A and B are shown apart, each in its own frame.
Chain A
């Protein structure tokens, strides 16, 4: 029997399946904590935030949309928001589909439903193909939540260089994704 995927486990958790939630916790909990610990550098707090993240995952599981993001990424956004909330004492402001002003996706993008899971895997692989300097900017801006001026200072390069590296890295990611989308 193959291991159930994260997105299967999430779907079952949405149906209030506690056993699925246990498996989900074991599958993703250590990586959630790895991320939280890197940001807060304090074992007890990291454990506490990780618990809150997983509790939120349980409560919001029915809002997960597999066409929009991989399960891993959806859980990551919850962890990211919780970290910002706990460490910076503010909430991440997000677009919300329930907002009456929310402009829905155009119908053509619904026809070409992306497999978010596959896309996530390709992005992971594409990241490894980026030139070192470009990847480094992405990693520092993501990983350490450093601002571009902070990265520029650390790397000893101009702010404009950091921004253009970030944009180049991103364009490269997109190009790699687009190339692989072709039949």
Chain B
């Protein structure tokens, strides 16, 4: 397989390095990082910079702390849960969804099915999307839409996207999205739509939902 050609913006990797992203954003970032050696290189630089910025000041340790810690070194560790395996989904997605086969796909619109990921801590709408081979799905972005292609791919006005490619679409720079799914296979992607929560409460919500059930 070829390396991804669409990468995460550096400011996402910088924020990830400092621990400033939401859990849902971390899923998108960690999924792309699993599939993209180039962005792992960039992250390595950001983490070195974060470490050298953040671990400068010293705070005195509790003098009793070392003995307490040494006494715990042999404590048995809780066993790690067995590693899940899936032919398509990387761990950052898989640990929230379970295997791809047997997902409870919901119909979202012509040619599109989705499964919401449980996101107990941020409540951001993170979703696994399946788009039918050959489908054409023009829509507009009312807010940030980010994601990673996991299988298949598409063409749109911004380029060609395949497995591993990251998409970060901002409403000001990417207002339209004329998505044309490749003909050879269904497309699977993880998508974070930060506008959905906002959109649904507003006047244009019902319209936007009618158009694409976002």
Contacts and interface: CB of A to CB of B under 8 A. Distances in A.
Interface of A: 18, 21-22, 25-26, 28-38, 46-47, 50-51, 54-55, 58-59, 68-70, 72-73, 75-77, 79-81, 83-84, 88-96, 98-106, 109, 116, 119-120, 123-124, 127, 138-139, 141-143, 145-148, 163, 166-167, 170-171, 173-174, 177
6 contacts: A30-B59, A93-B30, A95-B33, A106-B3, A141-B15, A142-B53
Contacts of B54: 35, 38, 76, 80, 142-143
Contacts of B18: 80, 141-143, 145
A54 B55 contact: no
B34 A22 contact: no
B89 A25 contact: no
B69 to A, nearest CB: 5
B27 to A, nearest CB: 5
B66 A22 contact: yes
Contacts of A94: 26, 30, 33, 92
Contacts of A142: 14, 17-18, 20, 49-50, 53-54
Given A90-B23, A95-B33, A34 B59 contact: yes
Contacts of A34: 55-59
B20 A147 contact: yes
Per DSSP, chain A at the interface is helix
B58 A31 contact: yes
Interface residues of B, number: 62
B37 A163 contact: no
A95 to B, nearest CB: 4
A1 B101 CA distance: 60
B83 interface: yes
Contacts of A31: 55-58
B69 A25 contact: yes
Interface of B: 1, 3, 9-11, 14-15, 17-20, 23, 26-27, 29-30, 33-37, 40-41, 44-62, 65-66, 68-70, 72-73, 77, 83, 85-86, 88-92, 95, 121-122, 164
B107 to A, nearest CB: 27
A123 B45 contact: yes
A158 B73 CA distance: 49
B168 to A, nearest CB: 11
A105 B66 CA distance: 38
A55 B19 contact: no
A47 B54 CA distance: 17
Contacts of B55: 28, 31-32, 34-35, 72, 76, 79
Given A83-B19, A99-B34, A142-B18, A51 B1 contact: no
Contact of A103 (B46, B85, B164): B164
Given A69-B47, A174-B45, A90 B15 contact: no
Given A79-B55, A101-B86, 19 more contacts: A18-B73, A21-B70, A29-B65, A33-B61, A37-B59, A51-B69, A93-B26, A101-B88, A103-B164, A105-B37, A109-B41, A119-B45, A120-B51, A141-B14, A142-B53, A147-B20, A167-B9, A167-B10, A170-B10
